[in-house]
Amino acid sequence: MKVWITYLSILITVMVLLLCSIRLHPYYQYAQYQDSVLSPSSPKNDTLRIAFIGDSWAEYHYLYDSLLCSMIGVDGRLVRVKSKGNVGAKSKGIYERLSTSTRPILKWRPHYCIISAGINDAVAKLGEDNYLHHYQLILRQLIRLGIKPVILEVPDVNYRAIASREPWTMRIHHILSSLLTGSKMYEFDSYRTSLKNSIDDLVREGMVVYVPADAWNPMGYLDNRRLYESDETHLNPLGYHLLDSCIASVILRDMKQK
């Protein structure tokens, strides 16, 4: 009798996992590349245009757009910055929004586009393959339009603190995601490493600009309290100041190299 109960328990568990994977499947589907109908030409004027797109780090950056302008326009250069992000956005959603809510940013024809993506992919345990696929679609679209991507490496945040705020249903969802994708529960270094390895040639050819996390936050996780809000996930004014100082430096350096 006990043997049958064991077999029945295993069968029920397998069925539940299969049903969950089927139910969640659209969540993990890869987006396909869709060519923008916009032409790659840029308007002719002297203003340096910089966009900041992606997740909540991009959404909350609008408060600091003028700060980044002043940092880059130190020699009197005309600079405009526009930020457009979405709280909780994953790389797939960021790519898909290039043809919807973020489309006005592309029509604005920025010279540079800063990208913040990866925190939510890692939190949702979508796996580095999913992350890389959609990040590469973002890069492909921007480069085709003559917009130079500025890639922010996935930063240090307190992933355990994020998990502690989640309802139990979301925790179960993430456990299943971890099983389905092979993504570790509280780890994001694989996302960093995978992205960096995939863009080495683009960086070497000067097609993209890469900003390592330790370039503006050398102490990493130890700086969470100093640079982050109380949630240890989003930057405070000091954190944005350091991030923008680094971004300004790499953009100015890239412009000198042209």
Tell me the average pLDDT of the chain.
85
Return the closest-CA partner of residue 178 out of 119, 120, 126, 118: 126
Domain ranges of the chain: 47-257
**Between 216 and 183, where is the model more confident?**
216
pLDDT digits (tens, 9 = 90+) for 232-256: 899 999 999 999 999 999 999 999 9
CATH architecture group of domain 47-257: 3-Layer(aba) Sandwich (3.40)
pLDDT digits (tens, 9 = 90+) for 38-75: 666 666 678 999 999 999 999 999 999 999 999 999 87
Give the chain's end-to-end CA distance (angstroms, integer): 76
What global pTM score does this model have? 0.85
pLDDT digits (tens, 9 = 90+) for 108-163: 999 999 999 999 999 888 889 999 999 999 999 999 999 999 999 999 888 777 77
- Strands of the sheet containing 112-116, edge to edge, are 79-85, 48-54, 112-116, 148-152, 209-211
